[in-house]
Amino acid sequence: MVWAYVGAGSVTVLFEQPVAIATDTPATDTPAPSTPTIETEATQWFQQGYAAFQGREYQAAATCFQQSIQLDRSVAEAHHNLGLVLANLRRDREAVGHLVEASQLYAQIGNRGAIDQVKHQLETLKTRSTPVAKKQ
């Protein structure tokens, strides 16, 4: 009967804190985006999601990060945080997809520390998803 209360839709907090957008990323020769309004709106959604995550309002955070990603798919931290929020909401398959996407985006900018963090978080998620053998 316990399983009736555990699963998609329930909340299990594996990840307490969101990931902030790195401010010390290396400069590139890439020109600034031609649509700064979209970038600003994506940033606003990201910040709202970050605040909701910190307030443990995971569904609201998920919605905000999804909006941010719709406006700018290239922000690794938005995918990373969406993955963490979805994991907390026990939507593990979706979480894995966003965590993998985040690691690919981190690889493009050479952020090895963030890649290692995502790898560790995927391992944590895998541990939860692996069924424990029952003793008979």
Domain boundaries, the chain: 37-128
Digit-by-digit pLDDT tens for the chain (136 residues) are 333 334 445 677 888 888 888 765 444 444 344 344 557 899 999 999 999 999 999 999 999 999 999 999 999 999 999 999 999 999 999 999 999 999 999 999 999 999 999 999 999 999 986 665 555 5
**H or E stretch at 76:** helix 76-88
pTM: 0.78
109 contact partners, CB below 8 Å, separation of at least 6: 25, 26, 76
CATH topology of domain 37-128: 1.25.40
**Which three-class secondary structure state does DSSP give residue 13?**
coil
Q: Name the token pair of 67.
A: 């909006």
* Euclidean distance between CA atoms 59 and 8, whole angstroms: 12
**Which three-class secondary structure state does DSSP give residue 75?**
coil
